[in-house]
Amino acid sequence: MRIGIIGSGSWATALAKILTDNGNSINWWIRNADTIELMKKRKHNPHYLSVAYFDPAQLFLSNNISEVVEKSDILVIAVPSAFVLAALSTLPKDALKGKKIISAIKGILPDSNELLNDYLLQEFNVPIENYFSVLGPCHAEEVAAEKLSYLTFSGVDESKAYDLARYFQTEYLNTVVNHDVMGVQYAAVLKNIYALGAGIAHGLDYGDNFLSVYIANSANEMTIFLKCLLPATNKENSEINYSASVYLGDLLVTCYSLYSRNRTFGNMIGKGYSVKAAQLELNMVAEGYNASKCIVKTNEKVQAEIPIAYTIYQILWEQLPALEGFKKIEGYLF
């Protein structure tokens, strides 16, 4: 099977390293032609994870997305959620016919407030059976350093998800499979919001004792939302383990790790940065910012009790002072 990657940020680069370390050749869409030339010359991405080197013989690099899509049977989409529509907008409606799509996106598409699978179904007629997600806990920086990590591949057909996961197995990367393709995506959205909140708490000088209580309550709130989203009306939903790594583990690492851009972004907010100033300083996309607005809108239908996520939304979008917001959050914790 021919594999293509859409995107050239840190996560896309980490996935490219995993795939090529497992002996796969890849087609790789990189928007900037200058970046492509530098990669051919230097054998690494000059902007992200520059310690990860590639064998040029395993790479077909192109800034023509249609060319990369046409050459690939499996497509890994790994651009930030806010830029997905722009990246795919030039593709013809039948461009993804028969292809397997792996979403490496950790957010809701903010323009349409929907998951990638919903957008691909509407715009490209990609059935859910051909759609899979890949999620952590897994920081790109640790992949580059070849520290043991785990990725969870989710699809409605677990056997197909398992087949795709095999392309990513290396000595430093283990894979897990489940069927909860909707739930894991929303869990990734929520964990970024809670991690941003953990950063705010750190910036406000809350200590580890408070943070542990905050994260425990965030995990509970996430479970409440997911159970409202996917009621246990069938056996498969009732048997989902929300303490598994793709749910709880990803929440923990994103809240605690210094590699977490959401935590870093939140820390700036807690220290008094404006949202705009924090965005300029970080110079990377913190998915939790847009996600907080998207999840509040989504929850208008889900109707789950998510006061922590809602308060973080108020801090980021409604100018609620961070300290005032966390005084409110203190009252929600137990």
Round to whole Å and give the CA distance between 188 and 40.
Answer: 33
104: exposed, middle or buried (Cβ count in 10 Å: 0-12, 13-18, 19+): buried
Q: Do 157 and 284 have their domain in common?
A: no
Q: Which amino acid is at 200?
A: I
Q: Do 41 and 159 have their domain in common?
A: yes
The number of folded domains in the chain is 2
The domain that holds 104 is classified in CATH as: 3.40.50.720
**Contact call for residues 264 and 256 (beta carbons, < 8 A):** no
Question: Distance of alpha carbon 216 from its chain centroid, rounded?
Answer: 21
Q: Do 218 and 148 have their domain in common?
A: no
Nearest CA to 40 out of 15, 63, 21 is that of: 63
The residues, ordered by sequence, that sit 6+ positions from 261 with a Cβ below 8 Å of its Cβ are: 282, 284, 285, 286
Show which of 116, 145, 179 is a domain's final residue.
Answer: 179
Show which of 179, 212, 233 is a domain's final residue.
Answer: 179
Q: Are strands 59-62 and 74-77 parallel, antiparallel or unpaired?
A: unpaired
Q: Do 146 and 128 have their domain in common?
A: yes
- Domain range spanning residue 230? 183-330
Q: Do 221 and 301 have their domain in common?
A: yes
Q: Do 119 and 191 have their domain in common?
A: no
Round to whole Å and give the CA distance between 246 and 124.
Answer: 28
**Contact call for residues 313 and 292 (beta carbons, < 8 A):** yes
Neighbour order of strands in the sheet with 26-29: 59-62, 26-29, 3-6, 74-77, 100-103, 131-135, 149-154, 173-178
Q: Do 246 and 277 have their domain in common?
A: yes
Show which of 179, 205, 227 is a domain's final residue.
Answer: 179
Q: Do 194 and 326 have their domain in common?
A: yes
146: exposed, middle or buried (Cβ count in 10 Å: 0-12, 13-18, 19+): middle
The domain that holds 323 is classified in CATH as: 1.10.1040.10
**CA angle centred on 120, ends 130 and 313, rounded to 5°:** 115
Given CA atoms 81, 85, 86, 89 in this order, what sign does their dihedral have?
positive
Round to whole Å and give the CA distance between 52 and 145.
Answer: 8
Q: Which amino acid is at 293?
A: K
Q: Do 173 and 217 have their domain in common?
A: no
Q: Do 114 and 225 have their domain in common?
A: no
Q: Do 163 and 30 have their domain in common?
A: yes
The reported pLDDT for the residue numbered 218 is 98
The reported pLDDT for the residue numbered 190 is 97
Question: Tens-digit pLDDT profile for the chain (334 aa)?
Answer: 899 999 999 999 999 999 999 999 999 999 999 999 999 999 999 999 999 999 999 999 999 999 999 999 999 999 999 899 999 999 999 999 999 999 999 889 988 999 999 999 999 999 999 999 999 999 999 999 999 999 999 999 999 999 999 999 999 999 999 999 999 999 999 999 999 999 999 999 999 999 999 999 999 999 999 999 987 545 566 689 999 999 999 999 999 999 999 999 999 999 999 999 998 888 777 889 999 999 999 999 999 999 999 999 999 999 999 999 999 999 999 9
Q: Do 149 and 192 have their domain in common?
A: no
